[in-house]
Amino acid sequence: MESSSINQEVIEIANKEDEKLAGVLEGPPDGDVVILCHGFLSSKRSSTLQTIVPGLVEAGFGVLRFDFSGNGESGGEFEFGNYWKEVEDLRSVVGFVRGVKKRSVKAVLGHSKGGDVVILYAAKYGDVPIVVNVSGRFDLSRGVEERFGKEGLAAIAEHGYWDVKDSQGAVNYRVTKKSLEERLCISIEKAARTIQKNVRVLTVHGTADETIPVDDGRSFDKVIANHALVLVEGADHRYSRHREDLQQIVCSFIESSD
């Protein structure tokens, strides 16, 4: 559910492929902006992301949530993987804030897959002073077999694709060999090690995360130069019972990074 107590502006941003990225800009009409990035098979309506918005707005920041291309209300086709394309989507959003809105980007925050996107963005561009990685995956080779199973991986190897279906047998999305190889070729560790010291990075991870193990959060802490790690005791991947904790941690970090 969208927040109704905060001023909202529905926006459209063109990415490098001239696809429409659908977004919502909330909060005051001027001042610094924080950009929020959703995870896999999610959207700007993610309840995990939305729980962070009120605290940031109360602190005086504008908050921009958007759908990556092929997701939510944005244009383009959904594809598994697409990490680097999503990095470029984020680049287009940063450019929109600075150019069209003539405002500074204070921070970029990503949840789950979005956490990996903001880490890759910081490694490639390094032009946003604060990066917040909420429950991102450190090793992209992990989680593949758990998601697709041996049958799926065998089908991808033999036929070049695998259709992931829901409980009724309808196809949710297709995984191609090319998209899987793209994911497996990305080293989040290598990217994290190249983030410059002038970029402050926060990793937040729940100790009861069953989707991405808490050890992934600890791994980020070992390789990023200017890094803070906060483990939320008992929190799951979506912070279902710890959303106020997540909001407080994120807002305190961004506010204190002046």
Mean pLDDT over 183-193 rounds to 96
- pLDDT value of residue 94: 98
Neighbour count for residue 16 (Cβ, 10 Å): 12
| 7-16, 147-156, 214-223, range with the lowest pLDDT | 147-156
- pLDDT value of residue 148: 84
Residue 137 has pLDDT above 50, yes or no: yes
Mean pLDDT over 63-91 rounds to 96
Residue 127 has pLDDT above 90, yes or no: yes
Residue 1 has pLDDT above 50, yes or no: no
Contacts of 22 (CB under 8 A, 6+ apart): 10, 11, 12, 44, 66, 67, 72, 73, 74
pLDDT confidence bin for 192, thresholds 50/70/90? very high
pLDDT confidence bin for 143, thresholds 50/70/90? confident
CB contact at 8 A, 25 and 56: no
Amino acid letter, residue 224: I
pLDDT confidence bin for 172, thresholds 50/70/90? confident
Q: What is the mean pLDDT of the chain?
A: 94
Rounded Cα–Cα distance for residues 69 and 23 (Å): 11
Reported pTM: 0.94
- pLDDT value of residue 199: 98
Which one has a higher pLDDT value, 87 or 147? Answer: 87
pLDDT (tens digit per residue) in 95-113: 999 999 999 999 999 999 9
pLDDT confidence bin for 2, thresholds 50/70/90? low
CB contact at 8 A, 39 and 53: no
pLDDT (tens digit per residue) in 247-258: 999 999 999 976
Please name each of the domains of the chain with its CATH number. 8-139+188-255 (3.40.50.1820), 141-185 (no CATH)
Residue 6 has pLDDT above 80, yes or no: no
- pLDDT value of residue 5: 58
